[in-house]
Amino acid sequence: MIRYELLEDTSSILFGLESEVKILFSAILLQPYVFTSRPKVELLYNRAHEKIYSYPFKLVPREWIGLFADLSLLLAWYDYSASSFDAAIACLDRALIICGAVNCRIDSYARIIQASHSEIKNLKFVQSLTRGKTLPTSMTLLPAWFVDQESSFNYTASTFPKIIYPVGSLCETEDADSIDHLCLFQMYLDRFRMSHRGPAPLVWKKFASSWPAIKLWNDPLYLLNQSQDGTRLVPVEIGSSYVSKDWTQQLMTFKSFLVDYIITQSHAPQEQDQPLSTGYLAEFNLFVIMPYLRRDITVPDLVYANIMPADLDYNYRHVSEEIMPIINTWFGPKGTISPLHTDPYHNIFTQVVGYKYVRLYPPQPALAGQSMYARSACEDSIDRSNTSKVSLENIDNKEVRAEFPDFPWDKGFVETLLGPGDVLYIPAGWWHFVQSQTISFSVSFWF
């Protein structure tokens, strides 16, 4: 079935590929029995993987992305047929992360993943009967010291940053259900449209407090269950921030990330070894890997407002209706940082678990002569022009302040502390710095 699905799209997949790759891929698909050609599939899979990483990510030809996604499907089918169910799931997770869900045959991926997980559970059940042992639960996947002490994440903080210049709000009431927020938000945007100025940030307290995720995502056992006992792969950023010299990315199981970088770092007794670096599951659509989590949230109707035209002084990027809104999740321990940067989208940023501090600056500094000190467009072969050189986590460091004397350190910004259920509107082009004050789980909606 899967092989025939691939055959239907052969012409579009082959377009633009190198000639020897076309010949090899055609030979694979036209095999009378696809199971006889695994070495050739692996050869082409490795070639496609190599090609993808030879380009800056935004410049990777779509043909190589599509080829890698489809070959991953074939390899996963081999693994499933050979009862290598964990390997099948890992292969498809890797493709979803590298290629993105849009480029993958999601229905076919989901069928193999679900079937593999069912087989894994059946095998464990049979083994437990044979050995006379009880079937292990998700609780056994967590450190014993954590299970004995905690049933949820402990995200209390001794102190929070003092808010001096708070982000504005359209209403003070916390009864979100009694207000037409979209209507108020649209009126707010229209006022700025009439004045030819861009909108400013807004905050809604407790806007998403009725989401099931507010409670459920604070439970590590629930998250393990939704990630098939923590076996699903996720891309984790390792290091203090994406502009740090020590920054890197690793694919790891969700269980490894949860135990090593969330639970151990935030809850472990003093005698426990602590991780050397910060791990952050950042800017990733976790619902692709853990689809049932999607039932725990609701897309805020604010994203359907008629936004400002794209003729202002920032580079707004339109989100097509087919993929609008672009949803990403952000999950990490206390201390994770998104350095001061801008995005080309409007953003409804929703805090689910824990607390985050956000500082925001307008697209252009308020006073003449001030500078945001944007990085180079070709720094380390990556366009970092949307990110500032200023490290706001070192705001009290005199040497840092002296290095960037024209930066608006103490004025010209607004700030907020987001807690569970709070929503922040970040207009496209606004500079923003984000720092978690506790264990934190957030969802962003770009539109």
pLDDT of residue 423: 98
Residue 92 has pLDDT above 60, yes or no: yes
For residues 128 and 83, give the distance between their C-alpha atoms in angstroms, rounded to a whole number. 18
Task: Kindly indicate the confidence band of residue 3, based on its pLDDT and cuts at 50, 70 and 90.
Answer: very low
Residue 263 has pLDDT above 60, yes or no: yes
Domains in the chain: boundaries: 2-130, 176-446
Q: Which CATH architecture has domain 176-446?
A: Sandwich (2.60)
**What is the rounded average pLDDT for all residues in the chain?**
83
**Higher pLDDT among residues 195 and 7, named by residue:** 195
Which residue matches tokens 């472990």? 268
Task: Kindly indicate the confidence band of residue 246, based on its pLDDT and cuts at 50, 70 and 90.
Answer: confident
Task: Kindly indicate the confidence band of residue 1, based on its pLDDT and cuts at 50, 70 and 90.
Answer: very low
pLDDT of residue 8: 46
Task: Choose the most confident range, by mean pLDDT, from 59-63, 79-83, 85-89, 159-163.
Answer: 159-163
pLDDT tens-digit series, residues 366-416: 777 899 999 987 766 677 889 999 999 988 899 999 999 999 999 999 999
SS3 sequence, 51-90?
HHCCCCHHHCCHHHHHHHHHHHHHHHHHHHHCCCHHHHHH
Task: Kindly indicate the confidence band of residue 6, based on its pLDDT and cuts at 50, 70 and 90.
Answer: very low
298 alpha-carbon distance from chain centroid: 17
Nearest to 264, CA basis, from 150, 434, 420, 393: 150
What average pLDDT score do residues 166-179 get?
71
pLDDT tens-digit series, residues 7-27: 444 444 455 555 555 555 555
pLDDT of residue 407: 95
Nearest to 63, CA basis, from 20, 105, 99, 107: 99
What average pLDDT score do residues 243-264 get?
93
Is the link from the previous residue into 408 a cis peptide, with omega within 30 of 0? no
In this prediction the pTM is 0.85
Tokens of 170: 């359209």
